[in-house]
Every structure is written in structure tokens, then in C-alpha cells.
Amino acid sequence: MRDIVYYSPKTIAETLKILQEYGEQGRLFCGGTDTLVRFQKGVLDCDALIDTKQIRDISDRITEEEHRIIIGSRVTLDDLITEKLIIKHFPALRAAASTVGSVQIRNRATLTGNICNASPAADTIPALMVYGAMVHIIGGTGIRTVGLESFFIGPGKTVCGPAELVSAISLPIPNRPHAAAFRRLTRRRGVDLAVVNTACAIDADGLVTFSLGAAGPTPVVVRSADPVFTDPQATEETLTQKIREMTDKGKPITDIRSGEEYRKQMLFHISWQAFVQARTDYLNRQA
């Protein structure tokens, strides 16, 4: 096993200095539920492990600021699941976070870590995307903000540079009726990576948004403003065809967890379930 230096910086400035020293060979982690497993297996390609858990000027809280929810990058998934602001405004994100790993993992893993791993099958990403999440990134030149849809550039790859770190994720609080739902499929019950996952949202204007996970090298986002989706008289046959057309935009692959064709069929199936739940909630709120 190669020698890897461990750091536990206490400030953002100290962290950035370490990142600048090691460049792409510096690896940030907070919960470590993915990184430390790879370290133990001897497959982690880095020279330095940088633990962000003790960085004092990065938040471990969820706050409300100017009609947005700010989730600090040290917030754990368990904190997210139990937070009243998330339960009230973003139930699909709470549902997605609740499926990640085990109770023990959720007590340690962070939301930021889940997105920064950039796994195409990460469960929190589809929900974050349909809610319009923004990622706040700190580097040597200051803070920049990017939409989550633009954050991923490939499996395991994000727009973060080698000397940058994510300080927070923010979500706009919907100010009009809005509904969303999350679904996933795994090979077995319990702790397992998703074969496919999806989130569906319907906004106050009737715009339907799907974010499809494990359906390509990065999450696939599909939108439609077709009025049939929010028409209470629309037939199931018509809605089914429309949903299939949208989920066909996903391009899953065959790998150790599943075959391409099976993924395509199941992506439609769980997307239909998510849509039905979101549409029911939407129509109830419009009544």
C-alpha cells in the first residue's frame, strides 16, 4: 500500500494551502464512507488525505437565508433527514437521503460528499437537481456558484479544480405550489447501490422535470411543459406514452449491477411511480 499523508486542517485558508501543494494528488473527505473504504482496499490514487470535518469556517448546519436553504458541507445525511426545513420544503430530498447506505453510514456521510463523489448512481443527486440545487465552491480566487446540472463532467469528475472545495449546497424555497417524488431500484433490500434512480418534480406552471440516475455518465435531466401532464382528465395511456418518451432520453449501460435493457425498462417503471406521486400531490394542492 502506498504511503498517504493525512491532514486535518482547521480553516479554509489552511485547507486551500494544502490543496495547492498537492494539486490533483490531494483528496478531500469529510465523512469518509467512500474514501476510507478505497484507502483500506489500497486503490485510492492520491498522496494526501485531507479531512474537512474540523474546518471551523465551513458550516455543519442547515439555515434559511433570503428564501433559500443553505446546507453546509459538513452537514451529515442524518442531520438532513431530521431537519424540519427539509421535511417541509424538500420531501423528495429527504426520501432520497434516507436510502443512502445504513443508519451508521448516514450518521457519518455528508450530502456534499455524496455529490462530490460524482457517482452516476448517487441517490441524493436526482432530488437535488429537480429542486434546482446550486453548489458553492471556494478556491484561491474566491467563491463561485454553479448549478448542480453543470457540476458533473463525468463519472467521478466535477467542475471543481484541484485547489477548490465545496463549502455549501443551496436550494431555492418554492414560493408557489410545487410537488416532487423520488424512487430507486436496487438488486436487493438493504444497503446497496441503485441500479437506477429518479426524481420527478412538477412546478406551479406545470413544468415536469425528471432527473435520471445511472442513466448515463452523468445524471440526465429531461423537462416538458406539455399541459397533458397536469390535466386531471388525461388518460393513463397518454401519460404513460409521454413518460416513456422522456425516460428514453436516458442512456444506461451494462455493468456488474445490471444490463442496459433491464435498466431502460426499470427506469421507465420507477419514473412512472415518481410521476404519479408528484402529480397526485400537485393536483391536490391545486384543488
- Name the 3-class secondary structure at 136: strand
The confidence score (pLDDT) of residue 4 equals: 87
Domain boundaries, the chain: 5-51, 62-172, 179-286
pLDDT of 122: 94
DSSP for 115-126 reads HHTT-TT-SHHH
pTM: 0.94
Give the residue ranges of DSSP H helices in the chain.
12-22, 35-41, 77-82, 84-89, 91-98, 103-108, 111-116, 124-130, 236-247, 260-286
State the pLDDT at residue 177: 83
Amino acid at 92: A
Q: What is the pLDDT of residue 191?
A: 66
How is domain 62-172 classified at the architecture level of CATH?
Answer: 2-Layer Sandwich (3.30)
Q: What is the pLDDT of residue 277?
A: 98
Tens-binned pLDDT, residue by residue, of the chain (287 aa)? 568 899 999 999 999 999 999 999 999 999 888 887 787 777 778 899 999 999 999 999 999 999 999 999 999 999 999 999 999 999 999 999 999 988 898 999 999 999 999 999 999 999 999 999 999 999 989 999 999 999 999 999 999 999 999 999 999 999 888 999 999 998 766 667 889 999 999 999 999 999 999 999 999 999 999 999 999 999 999 999 999 999 999 999 998 888 999 999 999 999 999 999 999 999 998 76
Q: Under CATH, what is the fold of the domain 5-51?
A: 3.30.43
Rounded distance, CA 111 to CA 121, Å?
14
Domain covering 179-286 assigned CATH 3.30.390.50 in the classification: yes
Cβ-contact 113, 129 below 8 angstroms: no
